[in-house]
Amino acid sequence: MRLDAFGERICIMGPSGSGKSTLAVAIGCALALPVIHLDQLHHQPRTNWRPRPAEEFATLHDAAIQGPRWVMEGNYSRLLPQRLARATGLILLDIPAPLSLYRYLRRCWFDRTRHGTLEGADDRANWMMVRHILGASRANRRRYRRMFDDLALPKLQLASARAIDGFYRDNGLAR
């Protein structure tokens, strides 16, 4: 699917370590869209990933989705209905959990300047995230697949590293 089919307000969802942030930056550069990383709205800067109060995050989220043009990456299901109501397209990254875990560990150990990181946060690997990727992500994946099937937006599910690479290649995107 061509990138221009997704419009000017694109949501990217998927498990931790699936490549959401990197893809959002690539699309943002290609289409001159502002990139919004939901982790940066959800967590307080310089706090090592301490969440903001729920109402504060919702206010920041809702202000961000009111923009006329954006590519937004992240999940945060509680706020998903209003995000999808404004979105003009959705890309769901649905790579296998072992690949998500590998990518998560690689970024923690080797990629200290990754896209979407939180200012002042320590991106060291931790057991809570490993358990999330291997456990909680399963239920989320099933829920996101069901949601995906019901959406009328232009949408694309990329279920492997090869599919993601092909999307980059087919759309002239750079990592």
CA–CA gap between residue 3 and residue 119 (Å, rounded): 29
Q: Give the pLDDT of residue 56.
A: 97
For residue 48, the model assigns a pLDDT of 75
Nearest to 91 by CA among 2, 174, 4, 10: 10
Whole-prediction pTM value? 0.90
pLDDT: which is higher, 49 or 101? 101
pLDDT-above-70 percentage for the chain: 91
Residues 3-170: name the CATH superfamily.
P-loop containing nucleotide triphosphate hydrolases (3.40.50.300)
Sorted by sequence, the CB contacts under 8 Å of residue 45 that are 6+ apart come out as 118, 119, 120, 121
- Decide: 139 and 76 in contact? Cβ < 8 Å: no
For the chain, what are the domain ranges? 3-170
Phi and psi for 13 in degrees, rounded to 5? -125, 160
Q: What percent of the chain has pLDDT over 90?
A: 62
144/102 Cα distance (integer angstroms): 21
- CA-based angle 72:148:77, to the nearest 5? 55
Model pLDDT for residues 117-166, shown as the tens digit of each residue: 656 556 677 787 788 788 776 778 788 888 899 999 999 999 999 999 99
